[in-house]
């Protein structure tokens, strides 16, 4: 993570001719959790842009399909009903168990800003993950 002084120096090093006030305003834009620091994930969220409306609708429809019990949250039980981990190449080769593959799947969505390790994928965590993926596709 970096704080405002480091952020301002980095902007200067990259040739951004920002005043101190402009740098502080930009810093606040990236500091999504108002912690006074910017993590790499906050910075990447700030620069990657928004997901397209079409892709957002598709991602929301997939989330709703994965949410087997309609609770508005994805648990490992929801995922087990929609994703057959026994066919994962790592399970088939004996490298991992089905449980390990499911755990890794769940953890994929609990990046910075998520409730790390709580075993629940919120719609926000789901959307945040696919917004990041989308920025590499669009």
Q: Compute the average pLDDT of residues 124-138.
A: 76
For residue 73, give the nearest of 33, 99, 32, 106 by alpha carbon. 106
H/E stretch holding 51 reads none
- Per-residue model confidence (pLDDT) at position 114: 45
Sequence-distant (≥ 6) Cβ neighbours of residue 84 within 8 angstroms: none
- Per-residue model confidence (pLDDT) at position 9: 94
For residue range 67-93, what is the model confidence (pLDDT) as tens digits? 999 999 999 999 999 999 999 999 999
In terms of C-beta density within 10 A (0-12 exposed, 13-18 middle, 19 or more buried), how is residue 11 classed?
middle
What does the angle CA 58 – CA 105 – CA 54 come to, to the nearest 5 degrees? 10
H/E stretch holding 86 reads none
Structure tokens at 92: 């088939």
- Per-residue model confidence (pLDDT) at position 135: 59
For residue range 91-121, what is the model confidence (pLDDT) as tens digits? 999 999 999 999 899 988 876 544 556 889 9
Mean pLDDT computed over every residue of the chain = 88
CA 18 to chain centroid, in Å, comes to 29
């Amino acid at each position: 993570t970096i704080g405002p002084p480091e952020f301002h120096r980095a902007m200067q090093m990259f040739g951004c001719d920002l005043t101190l006030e402009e740098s502080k305003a930009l810093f606040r834009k990236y500091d999504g959790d108002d912690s006074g620091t910017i993590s790499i994930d906050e910075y990447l969220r700030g620069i990657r842009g928004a997901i397209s409306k079409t892709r957002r609708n598709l991602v929301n429809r997939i989330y709703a399909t994965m949410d087997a019990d309609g609770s508005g949250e994805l648990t490992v039980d929801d995922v087990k009903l929609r994703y057959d981990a026994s066919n994962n190449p790592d399970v088939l080769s004996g490298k991992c168990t089905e449980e390990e593959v499911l755990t890794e799947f769940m953890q994929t969505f609990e990046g910075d800003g998520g409730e790390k390790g709580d075993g629940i994928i919120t719609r926000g965590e789901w959307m945040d993950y696919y917004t990041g993926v989308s920025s590499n596709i669009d």
